[in-house]
Amino acid sequence: MVYGKVGVNRASRCVHGGGVFVIPLIQDYAYLSLEPTAIDIPLSGALSQNNIRVNVPSTFTVGVSTDPVLMNNAAERLLTLNSLQIQERAQDIILGQLRLVIATLTIEEINRDREKFMKLVNENVAQEINKIGLELINVNIRDITDESGYIEAIGKRAAAEAINRAKVEVAQQEREGATGESIAVREKTVNVSRETATAVEGQKQAEQQQRVAVAALEAEAVKGETEARRDREITIAQREAEIAAAKKSAEQEQRIRVAQAEAQAVTGENESRARMAESQAVLSEIQAASRRRADVAAAEAAKAILIAERERELARLAKEQIVPQEIEKQRIALAAEAEAEKRRREAQGEADAILAKYQAEAEGVRRVMEAKAEGYRRLIEACGQDAAVGPTLLLIEQLPKLVDAQVKAVQNLKIDKITVWDTGAGNSGRNTTADFVSGLVGSLPRLHEMAAQAGIELPPALGKLHKRAETHAGANDDAHTKGA
């Protein structure tokens, strides 16, 4: 195959059985083997039209076609493949088409009409492998079997039918042979009788001729008497021969009819004896069944009488003794069941109330915790990057409670006077008490701002924050507290 620039709207050109000039640089060539390849198809379990799975192992012989169109198909689809890959591709196509053909035929059609089966396989497989440039050369179906043994059963049935036909034909031939033998024997007897009569007739004619020769010189009256006697003897001989033949035939017919009559008599006698024995057996069975039914009826009647007496006695005892006890027992059981049901329902109600209480408390705690968690989350989100602001705000939130607790702790104490004595001095020349008071006052504005940002209201003891604006250079807003 030459490929490259080989013509208008063509990418390749296939050549077989000759040579071609390949132009370097713009063309190149490759070889594609035309040798036939045998592909084994181990088809098994293919489903036929009547839903019976069959095994059809076969061998398909294929090769690259020499038709120009099919060769181009092979060049386009098989040139880059080796022989094993080409066989695998062809095997896949053949398996699919073979299964498709088997699915359209019944087991009987596949087994009986092999010519139709092979024709469909050739048509379908050839049409499909032509698409890849291959040509179907030969198909060899090695055997056809099925998993259920249906084909083997069909073969056995056909063999049995052939054997039966052969037996019938043999019987027919034997019958015809016996009939022919009987006819031959009959014809032999007739012919022997006829020849015997002819011999006697010849003998009589010879005697007649002798008498005629001897009595040639006798008078014409003697001649007439001799002729009459001759005719009489000939007639008598003929009649005797016919009587003998008829007698033999009558005896044969008589023996046949006697044998048939005896056979019919024996058959009739046997059938009569069989019917008599069968009638006697049936009569004996009917009598035995009648006696058995009578005995069973008597036993059942006695049993019914005893059962009725027992039931009457039981009814009397039940009425006098058992019924009152049963009534009392049922009354006690009903009362006990009522009391148990009452206690069970009361316990169930108490348990349901306790459970509802605990569930409500748990739900409240859960919601409080969820609200706190959501608040803490928003607080942390509001703090942004400053991690110290969150704890400070939480501390401020708890500050009113701490102040209230401290106030409650000292509100009942009677203190006339508080004296703060501080002998030490700070770095600025002031004592520690003065520094504490000034630091506390200085931190109050910032404390109020943070509380306002967090939405918390401080206790009145910490004063209130007032804002005023002054328009002079270098002046800042000062926070003043009122009353402490």
CATH number for the domain that contains residue 132: 3.30.479.30
Taking only the tens place, the pLDDT of each residue in 197-209 is 888 888 888 787 7
Q: Out of 12-26, 226-240, 302-316, pick the least confident.
A: 12-26
Most confident of 153-167, 186-200, 331-345, 364-378: 331-345
Domain assignment present for 127: yes
pLDDT > 50? residue 477: no
72 with 161, same domain? Answer: no
**CA contacts within 13 A on the Cβ side of 183:** 6
Give the residue from 106, 199, 200, 211 showing the smallest Cα distance to 151. Answer: 106
Longest dimension (CA), the chain: 224
pLDDT > 60? residue 471: no
Tell me what the mean pLDDT of segment 61-86 comes to: 81
pLDDT > 80? residue 350: yes
Give the residue from 435, 413, 411, 431 showing the smallest Cα distance to 422. Answer: 431
107 with 185, same domain? Answer: no
Full domain range(s) for residue 207? 157-215
141 with 49, same domain? Answer: yes
Q: What angle do CA 160, 162, 165 make, to 5 degrees?
A: 110
**Which comes out higher in pLDDT, residue 105 or 405?**
105
Q: Out of 70-79, 89-98, 395-404, 418-427, pick the least confident.
A: 418-427
Q: What residue type is 147 in one-letter code?
A: E
Calculate what percentage of the chain has a pLDDT beyond 90: 0
d(Cα 308, Cα 320) in Å, to the nearest integer? 18
Quote the pLDDT of residue 420: 56
Quote the pLDDT of residue 417: 58
Quote the pLDDT of residue 170: 83
Q: Out of 139-148, 267-276, 362-371, 378-387, pick the least confident.
A: 378-387
Quote the pLDDT of residue 67: 81
96 with 137, same domain? Answer: yes
Q: Is the pTM of this model over 0.95?
A: no
Domain assignment present for 39: yes
Quote the pLDDT of residue 28: 67
pLDDT > 70? residue 389: no
Q: Out of 69-78, 98-107, 342-351, pick the least confident.
A: 69-78
Quote the pLDDT of residue 185: 84
Tell me what the mean pLDDT of segment 390-410 comes to: 73
Domain assignment present for 239: no
136 with 166, same domain? Answer: no
**Which comes out higher in pLDDT, residue 27 or 337?**
337
Q: Which two tokens stand for residue 49?
A: 């039209």
d(Cα 100, Cα 120) in Å, to the nearest integer? 10
135 with 167, same domain? Answer: no
Q: Which two tokens stand for residue 194?
A: 């006829």
Determine phi and psi for 138, rounding to 5 degrees: -155, 150
Tell me what the mean pLDDT of segment 401-427 comes to: 64
Contact by Cβ (8 Å): 483, 463: yes
122 with 192, same domain? Answer: no
144 with 164, same domain? Answer: no
Domain assignment present for 246: no
Q: What is the mean pLDDT of the chain?
A: 77
pLDDT band for position 461 (cuts 50, 70, 90): low
Residue finishing a domain among 193, 215, 237: 215
Domain assignment present for 277: no
121 with 50, same domain? Answer: yes
Quote the pLDDT of residue 68: 76
Taking only the tens place, the pLDDT of each residue in 84-143 is 888 888 889 998 888 888 888 888 888 778 888 888 888 888 888 888 888 888 888 888
Tell me what the mean pLDDT of segment 411-423 comes to: 60
134 with 171, same domain? Answer: no
Residue finishing a domain among 194, 215, 236: 215
Taking only the tens place, the pLDDT of each residue in 244-292 is 887 887 788 878 887 787 877 788 778 878 878 787 788 878 888 878 8
DSSP-assigned states of every residue in 51-64: S-EEEEEEEEEEEE
Residue finishing a domain among 173, 191, 215: 215
Runs of H (alpha helix) within 3-149 = 68-78, 83-103, 107-112, 114-129
Q: Out of 44-48, 62-66, 246-250, 291-295, pick the least confident.
A: 246-250
Domain assignment present for 409: no
Give the chain's domain count. Answer: 2
Helix 114-129 and helix 83-103, axial crossing angle in degrees, nearest 10? 140
Domain assignment present for 5: no
Q: What angle do CA 223, 227, 229 make, to 5 degrees?
A: 115
114 with 200, same domain? Answer: no
Determine phi and psi for 421, rounding to 5 degrees: -115, 125
CA distances for 483 relative to 259, 404, 451, 461, 463, angstroms? 160, 18, 19, 8, 6
Calculate what percentage of the chain has a pLDDT beyond 70: 80
Quote the pLDDT of residue 480: 38
Domain assignment present for 190: yes
Contact by Cβ (8 Å): 134, 94: no
185 with 95, same domain? Answer: no
